[in-house]
Structure 1
């Protein structure tokens, strides 16, 4: 019977975690959304790569194209999407608000591509007085282009700054309708590769990149410096024809409402997509948390500290998260409870038993003291001890706080007292009988008949 109970208890202890894992892993989010740029940009390409990997974890990713980083930021802030890919620098737009945004990671470099027509330009000031496309006002290009140009002394008062979309600007540049255009995108963007192959269009070499970076760092904005080597895009055709230095921004993955588990899953997906070496980054450069300390999502911070664990290495992602919860429950709640219970069983309970048993032992000591040398007592001593023991019995029987574990000893004590009382009574009766016999013998010996 005991074996059956033990097996039943063991099965019960095993089934509870199993049912928890099955129920918990099924309750994870199945649908999330992400805002990107245009359908032809790098953000959209990244999002499609995320979508394929997320599907393996039973999560469907809905991709929401936008007009640019500002549009994506607004959609994220308004709760229309769960995540957004955007250009670094825009993450501070909502800093200090009641509903701040959180960064997961930097995932790529986005060079500032400046394409132009005409003679070689070795500084931004060369575009003064010309027609320059600075991007859609709702895109990240627009803000960065105007800041760079302003630093070079160029603004709408001395130069024609045109708010054209990427493809509109590229078409105008190809036709000679404008002199230059700004474009911010990864090296994988189709528009970048197309313009680099145009014979009449040149790529601006940012020779003063270090100076501009230092200038903007003083204003709290960071640029990266990357280098495009000669022939880096098309070695047989020598494109580009010489090496170029470029300024670059970072691509950020941002969120607002996402919970810790879905953030961790996104981090694992981002790691797989962006860890490979690229034209401007060595393997393992991305994802990273550089410059994101104040914005980093707590779950993303934990991921950078511990990218994987035992459960994730041996189980699917959602089962691993459920097992991690059980593990934390065991460590944070169950283990302390077991420790407290063990302390109670091994220390408190024995101490309590000892204290309660001490009452019984104390009575035993008193009874044993009374019981000592009964056969040598005088009648008066025997009666005195009997009276004293009778009072002890009354007090013992009035005890109501004796634990069940000591009841056997308690009843044994009472029986012992009764037996001692009987022994004392016999001693008293013996003395009475002896006295009576002695008296009768003395009377008979003094009577005439006896004489």
Structure 2
């Protein structure tokens, strides 16, 4: 037992001495190369300063009213973000116009929103970026009565009746008023600003004769209207002309019976005007969160629907708002490689680390590669300085030796030798090191000879 204890003690003592020597060695390197290490530290500080911050774990997202299509879609985005450790909080709104206002107001917390094409003025896009369009948003006009193709062709026929053109600030109202303006019509008291749910209820009761609504095909409201056998759907037979007048408008074709073959609805080939909904973000939104939105859009809106092919969205369709550089990379080459295999936060951290380390390595490598040579020159200079001190000490001893100064000479030689011994010398300077040690012994012999000579002279 005593033998084991002794061996363990010796083992730990050896470890301690090795660790101590290593610390002393690194301390000496730091002492020798401190200017280069200081430069390296400054580079690290600057790189860290300019490195991307970590993405937020809480993001505010403007959707629509709680009963609207975008709110329902937004809930899917919320689930997608939650699975990746990010809280996406939906902010209710009155529609695309208010969503745009949220984004433009830098005091507001909203950093992302669904906004339909045609809402954003071209001169008010500063500070905004587009991640691309995420679905079609047709302009539907449903009306009561018999199937009347003439009524469908002449929107003005409805203006003497009560119709809903959508609530204030909604995309529906903006698009409806533009369509009417292109036909030379101005707003009248018969054009009601009803919410979509109010308009649907009023249309079914017969309180109004028609309603405009801008919604995607999968929205609850559109499905209710399409399945109501008492309602008719207008066809914009001059759809191509509207599309030429408004560059954000395109045309969708619905064949006869395309929505319901059993009741042959619609009863003839129908043309719809459509915008697209874009996913807009604050230009300062963290790139990793932008990437997460793009992945969510691919997973949710890339499924396709009645009008959109699978993987048709997200896509950059509306050029009013500049496309985000993150979206450009994503649409070109997909998400970062690591995001295919690692959780979001880990992949994002590695990505940030790479952005931090690569420039640092490029900056640090030349500095680190010079440290050995720099230290070698410093050690050579230190040994040369010791040689210089030894030379002056030797001259003093040979030419001006005094018995009363003997102890001082001996102490100076001892200090010089201890200083040399304490210096950790690389193998390339071994010969230089031992040469200095030999010369110190030589001067020590000179000191002893000088003392002996003085003593002999005094005795004689």
Q: TM-score, normalised by structure 2?
A: 0.67
Q: Is contact 1:230–1:239 with CA below 8 Å preserved after alignment?
A: yes
Deviations 1:256-287 (A, max 9, x none): 35322222222222221111121111111111
**Using the alignment, how far apart are the partners of 2:296 and 2:102 within structure 1?**
22
Q: Is contact 1:105–1:252 with CA below 8 Å preserved after alignment?
A: yes
Deviations 1:37-90 (A, max 9, x none): 222321011111112222212223332322211222333435143322221223
| Structure 1 equivalent of residue 114 of structure 2 | 85
Q: Is contact 1:224–1:247 with CA below 8 Å preserved after alignment?
A: yes
| Structure 2 equivalent of residue 289 of structure 1 | 316
Would you say how many aligned residue pairs link Structure 1 and Structure 2? 379
**1:146-157 equivalence runs, <5 A:** 146-156=177-187
Deviation at 1:35, TM superposition (A): 1.9
| Structure 1 equivalent of residue 225 of structure 2 | 195
| Structure 1 equivalent of residue 207 of structure 2 | 177
**Using the alignment, how far apart are the partners of 2:269 and 2:59 within structure 1?**
41
- Is 1:130 the counterpart of 2:160? The answer is yes
Query: Any idea what SS the aligned residue of 1:250 has?
Result: strand
Deviations 1:383-427 (A, max 9, x none): xxxxxxx9xxxxxxxxxxx9x7544445667999999xxxxxxxx
| Structure 2 equivalent of residue 145 of structure 1 | 176
Counterpart selection for 1:216 from 228, 235, 246:
246
**Structure 2 residue runs without a partner (length 5+):** 1-13, 24-53, 387-397, 399-419, 426-431, 446-460
**Using the alignment, how far apart are the partners of 1:46 and 1:160 within structure 2?**
32
Q: Is contact 2:125–2:321 with CA below 8 Å preserved after alignment?
A: no
Counterpart selection for 1:230 from 250, 256, 274:
256
Distance verdict in 2 for CA 1:92–1:125, change over 3 Å: same
**Using the alignment, how far apart are the partners of 1:43 and 1:63 within structure 2?**
10
Counterpart selection for 1:246 from 272, 296, 314:
272
Deviations 1:154-199 (A, max 9, x none): 2236x83222221222233333433322110000122222222333
Deviations 1:6-26 (A, max 9, x none): xx99xxxxxxxxxxxxxxxxx
Q: TM-score, normalised by structure 1?
A: 0.68
Query: Any idea what SS the aligned residue of 2:229 has?
Result: coil
Distance verdict in 2 for CA 1:225–1:343, change over 3 Å: farther
Q: Is contact 1:136–1:163 with CA below 8 Å preserved after alignment?
A: yes
Q: Is contact 1:276–1:283 with CA below 8 Å preserved after alignment?
A: yes
Higher Cα Rg: structure 1 or 2?
1
Q: Is contact 1:141–1:182 with CA below 8 Å preserved after alignment?
A: yes
Distance verdict in 2 for CA 1:187–1:294, change over 3 Å: closer
**Using the alignment, how far apart are the partners of 1:83 and 1:355 within structure 2?**
63
Q: Is contact 1:128–1:154 with CA below 8 Å preserved after alignment?
A: no
Counterpart selection for 1:162 from 189, 192, 206:
192
Distance verdict in 2 for CA 1:31–1:129, change over 3 Å: closer
**Using the alignment, how far apart are the partners of 1:306 and 1:2 within structure 2?**
52
Distance verdict in 2 for CA 1:66–1:294, change over 3 Å: closer
Q: Is contact 2:56–2:286 with CA below 8 Å preserved after alignment?
A: no
Q: Is contact 1:260–1:299 with CA below 8 Å preserved after alignment?
A: yes
**Using the alignment, how far apart are the partners of 1:232 and 1:96 within structure 2?**
38
**Using the alignment, how far apart are the partners of 1:310 and 1:199 within structure 2?**
50
| Structure 2 equivalent of residue 280 of structure 1 | 307
Q: Is contact 1:155–1:161 with CA below 8 Å preserved after alignment?
A: no
Q: Is contact 1:130–1:179 with CA below 8 Å preserved after alignment?
A: no
Deviation at 1:289, TM superposition (A): 2.2
**1:386-405 equivalence runs, <5 A:** none
Query: Any idea what SS the aligned residue of 2:121 has?
Result: helix
Counterpart selection for 1:204 from 215, 231, 234:
234
Deviation at 1:253, TM superposition (A): 1.9
Distance verdict in 2 for CA 1:414–1:254, change over 3 Å: same
Q: Is contact 1:124–1:152 with CA below 8 Å preserved after alignment?
A: no
Query: Any idea what SS the aligned residue of 1:263 has?
Result: helix
Distance verdict in 2 for CA 1:167–1:127, change over 3 Å: farther
Q: Is contact 2:166–2:172 with CA below 8 Å preserved after alignment?
A: yes
**Structure 1 residue runs without a partner (length 5+):** 10-26, 361-389, 391-401, 420-451
Q: Is contact 1:37–1:44 with CA below 8 Å preserved after alignment?
A: yes
| Structure 2 equivalent of residue 442 of structure 1 | none
Distance verdict in 2 for CA 1:286–1:331, change over 3 Å: same
Query: Any idea what SS the aligned residue of 2:246 has?
Result: helix
| Structure 1 equivalent of residue 368 of structure 2 | 341
- Point out which structure has higher relative CO (alpha carbons under 8 A, 6+ apart): 2
Q: Is contact 1:124–1:149 with CA below 8 Å preserved after alignment?
A: no
